[in-house]
A = this chain, B = another copy of it.
């Protein structure tokens, strides 16, 4: 985990840097807003500790610039000011947390832990196979980046296959997982939807294994022969 500290007061800055490094973080230290902004814009950080009272450029301005550039690493704001209106301004400017000086370094560490946990906790549940990409969180399917419109049943079928990528899935297994309890098993709906999916995503995404079922393979997983 990599942290950027933007703090103009050398004593505090170096103390923070040392403490964070002892806690296993990689730390960059910047002493003014301009330099800090440049670092935050060009390097990859997991979190930023930002002092509001900076020379040259104000901390809130730097924060606003980052957010407008699309940088969305978690930012913890430090300030000597203690009025709640300043806190509100900071939070609304895009800060994720706030800490008033003076503070215990233990609290800073704990807050950083919480911020990073939250930022990385949103692991995107994306399934891919070849050019096909399925996002289970958003319920979206794309082919070579282009969004593809699937109906509910088509989506369910594809989703199950992608969750069991590389495995041969029998038709009864598909029926059991796509439909609820009572469903007439003597019908060819599965084949129908396989056909439709193939039409939308290409014939080669789903492989037929005669007498056994279907299988969805990722070309990337096949050590070609």
Contact A151 B84 (CB under 8 A): no
Cβ of A186 < 8 Å from any Cβ of B?
no
Once A103-B84, A107-B84, A123-B72 are accepted as A-B contacts, the answer to whether A212 and B92 lie under 8 Å apart by CB is no
Contact A104 B84 (CB under 8 A): yes
Contacts of A107 on B, CB cut-off 8 Å? 84, 87-88, 91
Contact residue among B103, B119, B222 (Cβ-Cβ distance under 8 Å from A118):
B119
Interface string of A140-174 (1 = CB under 8 A from B): 10100111000111010000000000111000000
Cβ of A11 < 8 Å from any Cβ of B?
no
Contacts of A199 on B, CB cut-off 8 Å? none
Chain B nearest CB from A38 CB (Å) reads: 19
Contact B96 A114 (CB under 8 A): yes
Interface string of A158-194 (1 = CB under 8 A from B): 0000000011100000000000000000000000000
Q: State A137–B224 Cα separation when bound (angstroms).
A: 18
Once A110-B88, A211-B151, A225-B142 are accepted as A-B contacts, the answer to whether A124 and B167 lie under 8 Å apart by CB is no
Cβ of A13 < 8 Å from any Cβ of B?
no
Taking Cβ atoms with an 8 Å cutoff, the residues of A that contact B are 67, 70-72, 74, 84-85, 87-88, 91-92, 94-97, 103-104, 106-107, 110-111, 113-114, 118-119, 121-125, 133, 137-140, 142, 145-147, 151-153, 155, 166-168, 209-213, 215, 222, 224-225
